[in-house]
Amino acid sequence: MTKLSAFTNVQSSTRTNPGARRFLTIAIMVMTAMCLMSGAAFARDDDEDDDDNEDRDRRGGFCSQTAKLLFRSCGFEAQDDFFKARAICLNVSDQVEREECLADATTARNESRQLCGEQRTGRLDTCKSLGENRYDPDFDPALFDNNFANLTNPNPYVPLKIGNRWEYREGAESIAIEVLNETKLIDGVTCIVVQDRVSEDGDLVEDTDDWFAQAKNGDVYYCGEETKDFEFFDGDKPRLPELVSIDGSFKAGRDGDKPGILFLGSPTPGTVYRQESSLGNAEDVAEVLSKTYAFGSNPALDQFVPQPLAQLLCSAGDCVVTKEFSAPGGPGSFERKYYARGIGLFLEVKPDSGKAVQLVGCNVDPRCPPLPAP
């Protein structure tokens, strides 16, 4: 009886209040329109997905379509972050601080959307270098060595002998790299573990295990990495590094990640290849610039290169230079890396800033002890 009485009262009130009836009618119309628009949007997305599958050749190749889909994903992520930020702001008691929080959330969303667009442009530009084919490398275990003490065709530019060590410097930052006596089985392929530790003013800020596989044709594959970033905070007793991020970690075969090639067995100038393939996470690309570099042979490649270092390691004119960049950033923002036979990477130059990461010590070759200081 109570429910019937309440319902009857609403009906009676509606009949006697034309303004309320008009408001109710308009509200229903608005809600219906919104539902129809949402349905149309979802249908349009479904249609676009169908078009991606059926008419990809007409709309662009696989690489370009990947870039466009990642752009859409990036936009949704920016919106998700925005709503989460608003939820945080909602629980700020002070009105002034709450309004500042909301304003910051809006600014961050707009900046993220802009970055999404820039990354789409970068990826599309990268596709022009890579081509439009699907990226689905052959990772058959039969193509790889499983004994790093007896490699079929070791790459002289990435010597992976157990116990090999390198040390690099850039200002207050030092990088220590060592090939460990450890392996990791990834999709049936045996990968050697290479430890990469970065310190600033003596404090450990990054500790990474890279996983490399040696193909029998000489290519060195990049199968993934476990990255840990650390920070130190004043007031902590004892003062110990705190893990703050594992961003950049990936593993071939997990969540759609695929292996890339760290360094080619037969580098040819002009060759462009993927080094990492963890979409939206790690997407490095490399291009071979020279395989006959010696200081003085190419003024553009000499830029920011310490002459004594290059003369020590590249006097035979057989150093390899690559241009490396992240696909979202595009080919316009890059680093040059210099590799010497029997040594490996000895210099990384950032042309935009002129900064360089330089090899200062190693145990892999007789030329290691006389390496010049930065």
What are the pLDDT digits (tens) for 93-132? 999 999 999 999 999 999 999 999 999 999 999 999 999 9
CA 198/CA 174 separation, integer angstroms: 6
User: pLDDT at position 152, please?
Assistant: 96
User: pLDDT at position 139, please?
Assistant: 97
User: pLDDT at position 31, please?
Assistant: 44
CA 249/CA 227 separation, integer angstroms: 5
Domain locations in the chain?
1-46, 55-134, 141-362
DSSP state of 143: G
Contact 306, 372 (CB under 8 A): yes
Beta strands in the chain (DSSP E): 165-170, 173-186, 189-200, 203-214, 220-231, 242-245, 250-251, 258-263, 272-274, 276-277, 284-293, 319-326, 335-340, 344-350, 355-362
User: pLDDT at position 8, please?
Assistant: 31
- Cα end-to-end span (Å), the chain: 90
Contact 229, 242 (CB under 8 A): no
User: pLDDT at position 27, please?
Assistant: 44
Q: Which residues of the chain are under the pLDDT cut of 50?
A: 1-18, 20, 23-52, 54
Contact 371, 352 (CB under 8 A): no
User: pLDDT at position 123, please?
Assistant: 96
User: pLDDT at position 126, please?
Assistant: 96
